[in-house]
Structure 1
Amino acid sequence: MTQPNYTTEHREALREQILKVATREFTTIGVKSVKMDDIARKLKISKRTLYEIYDNKEQLLLESVARRIHEFDATLERFDSSGEKQVIDILLEFYRLQMEELRDMNPVYYEDLHKYPRVMSFLEQVNKEHKAHSKDFFKRGVLEGYFRNDFNYELISLLGNNVMQNVMESKLYNTYSLQDIFRNVVMLFIRGLCTAKGILELDRQLESRA
């Protein structure tokens, strides 16, 4: 069977379509359950055409994960740069975006990521960058008077990571939704970090959004 001769423009458009469909499938039913054949069939293209653009499933997954993180970070960065924002504003926007992302997310997706070494290596690097940024953000919150200055940020960060690791290992998501887990864990940590001024502003904004 003769394969279509894609121009660069068409090839890039198809690449975007593949990425969009694959990301939706990965996050809603889990990576393991998605076959390259399934993606090709949904897009009505041959498997050969799919493999001409993505060498294998891990490459596709890696680009999907990288795109999702980039878009999330870029959205938050635009929010921060759009005006005079304070740390509470940014925290609640982060919270909103994360809750939106978790709405249709299958917990199995996170479990499946650990089966792909290149993806995990990428995520480890991203986590290092996020950790450095978060530490600067914490210092900013202290200067603004919204965060307490008597906390050990490194310890708090480790505790937060351990809590989420325990959530996944104990499969708490079988009893509670990811949104419920995230809401309770994050709000507990945020309120614990806040000064009296920070709690007042946090509650004010939460009430206004209710």
Structure 2
Amino acid sequence: MQEIKDISDYKLNLKERIPDVAMQLFTERGINAVRMDDVAQAMSISKRTIYELYATKEELLFEVVVKHFKQRVDNMELALAHCTNVMEILLEVYRMKVRDFKNTNPLFFTEMVKYPQVKRFLDEQNNVMRDNSYEFIQRGVDEGYFRADLNYQMAVLQFDAMGEYVMQKELYRQYSIEDIFRNLVFVSLRGLCTDKGIKAIDEMLFQ
């Protein structure tokens, strides 16, 4: 009985560690370039063992994406805890996004949406974030940074479309991540801002 428990604990420990190792490989090389064999080799375990825990590569990728999405949300909440207004939040999110993209092979982002289970999860999270963005915008209006006379449902959809265009056209191959985010987030955002908001964005751009 003890031997069975030890085996179970061993596999539970592996199941906890494998997504972190797989994430490192996926973000370094892209998803398609990484085989289950590569993950097993990096873990110093057999291919059979990894397939006992994850029947398919998509199953492993899904767990990787879910686990690290939750970790990023937790990290962002900690980072934003000290922010006092929407402009400070925007700057912090900008810095975190740039850092994440700079440390990740762009192929990871373009390839993971080709896996149906992963795409469904990402679409669900995007819908949640879209709903949260309306609350964020209303806070910005209340704080005097965003204009009150605009259609923000349309604005959010336009930002989504710009983000999709960046990924579909692989603009990250032509421009730095910093330039893409500065144009996407700050330049485009200025049109939604009051004079107070524009001043805050310009100060952030040149600080």
C-alpha distance in 2, partners of 1:181/1:187? Answer: 10
Identity of aligned residues (%): 39
C-alpha distance in 1, partners of 2:83/2:178? Answer: 29
Q: Which structure 2 residues correspond to residues 12-161 of structure 1 after superposition, within 5 A? A: 12-80=12-80, 82-83=81-82, 85-161=84-160
C-alpha distance in 2, partners of 1:72/1:146? Answer: 26
Contact 1:107-1:178 at 8 Å conserved across structures: no
SS of corresponding position for 2:69: helix
C-alpha distance in 2, partners of 1:132/1:88? Answer: 19
Contact 1:76-1:90 at 8 Å conserved across structures: no
Task: After superposition, give the CA deviation of every residue in 1:103-148 in whole Å (9 maximum; x if it has no partner).
Answer: 1222222221232110111111111100000111100110011111
CA RMSD in angstroms, aligned pairs only: 2.1
C-alpha distance in 2, partners of 1:37/1:47? Answer: 6
Contact 1:28-1:105 at 8 Å conserved across structures: yes
SS of corresponding position for 1:45: coil
Contact 2:28-2:105 at 8 Å conserved across structures: yes
State the shift of 1:200 in Å: 2.2
Q: Which residue of 2 aligns with 1:197?
A: 196
Range 37-46 or range 148-157, more displaced:
148-157
C-alpha distance in 2, partners of 1:119/1:191? Answer: 33
Gaps of 5+ in 2: none
Evaluate the alpha carbon distance shift between residue 78 and residue 9 of structure 1 in structure 2; reply closer, same or farther with a 3 A threshold: farther
C-alpha distance in 1, partners of 2:192/2:72? Answer: 24
TM-score, normalised with respect to structure 1: 0.87
Query: Could you tell me which amino acid in structure 1 is paired with residue 42 of structure 2?
Result: K
Gaps of 5+ in 1: none
C-alpha distance in 2, partners of 1:136/1:76? Answer: 17
Contact 1:147-1:194 at 8 Å conserved across structures: yes
Range 19-28 or range 180-189, more displaced:
180-189
C-alpha distance in 2, partners of 1:12/1:180? Answer: 43
Q: Which residue of 1 aligns with 2:179?
A: 180
Query: Could you tell me which amino acid in structure 2 is paired with residue 191 of structure 1?
Result: R
Q: Which residue of 2 aligns with 1:169?
A: 168
**When the two structures are aligned, how many residues end up with a matched partner?**
204
C-alpha distance in 1, partners of 2:183/2:104? Answer: 17
TM-score, normalised with respect to structure 2: 0.88
SS of corresponding position for 1:146: coil
Task: After superposition, give the CA deviation of every residue in 1:189-210 in whole Å (9 maximum; x if it has no partner).
Answer: 2322221112223333454xx4
State the shift of 1:25 in Å: 1.4
Query: Could you tell me which amino acid in structure 1 is paired with residue 171 of structure 2?
Result: L
